Structure 1
Amino acid sequence: MSGRIRPPRRLLPKILMPNNSIDISEKAGVRYLHFSSNWVQGAMRIQRPHALELPYTREMMAGLLLRDPPWPGEALLIGLGAGSLAKFIYRQLPTTKITVVEIDPQVEIVARLHFKLPDDPPRLRVVIGDGAAYMLASGRHYDYILVDGFDKNARAGVLDTLPFYQACRSRLSDRGLLTVNLLGRERGFQASVSRINAAFDGRALVFPSCDSGNAIAFAAAGDAVDVGFDELISKANQCRTETGLNLLPTIARLQIARRPGNDRFRI
């Protein structure tokens, strides 16, 4: 996971790896994970370890407003980071089975030791491997695919290519949704948007995140998404009551991103 946040002073030990190092730091009750850079890879409020601390991670869960429950039955996460999305789904969506693909085995160790990642293989399975290779090799279908993978320099690499997005589409169920965290930085993310649109025949929508430098993309395969904004607000209120997740600010950004004259969210 990557948010454009300068990490606080390192308070916990640095974990050395052959080609990289993981820093864990704490400030004001929040524990941060980053790869020796100014790009935070994940965060956890120590008193609320299953909550989504970084705003963009909350927005990545907005798919809960776009499909009716029970959904998702199967979720696939590309990129583990501090395990925020995996922990939220595990705690708040107890019928969802979760697969996480993480390329760096040290990240899983850190998530378990310092970020309270649950140890429950029947429900939460961590696969150590390349996310793009896993997507191409696996024949399994998922209701929700969440992509949030970056290297130490905040580059997505092969996870931001047309073949990868096409592979994601092929792995989605009839009610499947893809959500991607796009990190714009200097060159923006329009090229990424074009690749997602090409892979999903235009059935995608991207809106700026409340985190500076991030944007969130949603794309649909199979059944169409067609939800009025009044219904989105109602679902957001229900979601907040049931899970504590407040998606009302996300709806406001979805309204800005909608096509002119459209009072519904369609992809």
Structure 2
Amino acid sequence: MTYPIDISEEGGVRFLHFGSLWIQGAMRIARPWHLELDYTREMMASLLLRDDSRFPRKVLLIGLGAASLTKFLYRNYPLAKLTVVEIEPRVVAAARQFFKLPEDPKRLNIVIGDGARFVAENDKTYDLILVDGFDENARPGELDTLPFYQLCRARLNDDGVMAVNLLGRSRGYATSLERLRDAFDTRALAFPSCESGNVIALAATGAPIRIGLDDLKEQAHALKDNTGLNLLPTLARIEQSQSCPGGVFCL
């Protein structure tokens, strides 16, 4: 049975649902490029991990939802080429009709298809891979398996970064993180859970990442000035969780 795709609005925010009250995406109508949900902001912490003006130039997003991540990158990283894989064509239609998904085939390639299959069958590589794909029951399916994570690693360029939304793992996220660490030779970590219950995990290839928290905060200030995105609360939570021994973020 095909699940319905519903749109609701409250307090100036438009929400995407897959036939339930479960929120699959959100957009503040007056600020359509703004990252409304906290977990989408946390996924963008991946942008702080490479001090390179060319990062990211090639981005793969698996799962479109309300197109929040897509629109943020499209607006703020004009040199980046984005590929979005979304399995449900009605989600793409809803994103265009209700969530201001841009039409720009030169910079934004929308692929209707299975994300795991796309990664398995295409040999293109990316600087940044963002995975936020769930069915109507908040299950990730093949997007939370060791073979998928291994293929994602193979599709990352040198010094590539991957961010995964681990919400919906019915038995917690520890097993998912272990799979991710296995695929990336232990180079993966999870942020403390944000208020919504989402847990964002990051993984990396290439040169080891060692960044002092003070330097990360400087980069976060610059990102805020350039894009309006404030990641300082995320860095404060990371610091409070004592996951940066000696005040150094390592990945």
How does the TM-score come out when normalised to structure 1? 0.91
Structure 2 unaligned spans of 5+: none
- Structure 1 residues 230 and 239, CA, compared in 2 at 3 Å: closer, same or farther? same
User: Does residue 49 of structure 2 align to residue 66 of structure 1?
Assistant: yes
Q: 1:151 aligns with which of 135, 139, 153?
A: 135
Aligned residue number for residue 9 of structure 1: none
Q: Is the 8 A contact 2:184 2:205 kept in 1?
A: yes
Alignment of 1:68-147 (within 5 A): 68=51, 69-147=53-131
Aligned residue number for residue 219 of structure 2: 235
Give 1:210 shift: 2.1
Q: 1:55 aligns with which of 35, 38, 42?
A: 38
What SS does the aligned partner of 1:255 have?
Answer: helix
Distance 1:258 1:177 in 2: 22
User: Does residue 14 of structure 2 align to residue 31 of structure 1?
Assistant: yes
Per-residue CA deviation, residues 33-73 of structure 1 (Å, 9 max, x unaligned), is 01012321100000000110001000100111111122101
* Percentage of pairs with the same residue: 58
Distance 1:127 1:76 in 2: 11
Q: Is the 8 A contact 1:56 1:209 kept in 2?
A: no
Which amino acid in the other structure matches residue 243 of structure 1?
T
Q: Is the 8 A contact 1:59 1:209 kept in 2?
A: no
Please provide the CA RMSD for this pair.
Answer: 1.3
Q: Is the 8 A contact 1:258 1:265 kept in 2?
A: no
User: Does residue 197 of structure 2 align to residue 197 of structure 1?
Assistant: no
- Structure 1 residues 184 and 127, CA, compared in 2 at 3 Å: closer, same or farther? closer
Aligned residue number for residue 194 of structure 2: 210
Distance 1:181 1:262 in 2: 27
Q: 2:4 aligns with which of 21, 25, 47?
A: 21
Q: 2:232 aligns with which of 248, 251, 263?
A: 248
Which amino acid in the other structure matches residue 114 of structure 1?
F
Give 1:256 shift: 3.9
What SS does the aligned partner of 1:208 have?
Answer: coil
Per-residue CA deviation, residues 135-181 of structure 1 (Å, 9 max, x unaligned), is 01111110000000000000001000000000000000002000000
What SS does the aligned partner of 1:50 have?
Answer: coil
- Aligned pairs, number: 250
Per-residue CA deviation, residues 232-263 of structure 1 (Å, 9 max, x unaligned), is 00000111011000000111222245546332
Which amino acid in the other structure matches residue 19 of structure 2?
S
Structure 1 unaligned spans of 5+: 1-17
Aligned residue number for residue 6 of structure 1: none
Distance 1:199 1:185 in 2: 18
How does the TM-score come out when normalised to structure 2? 0.96
Aligned residue number for residue 167 of structure 1: 151
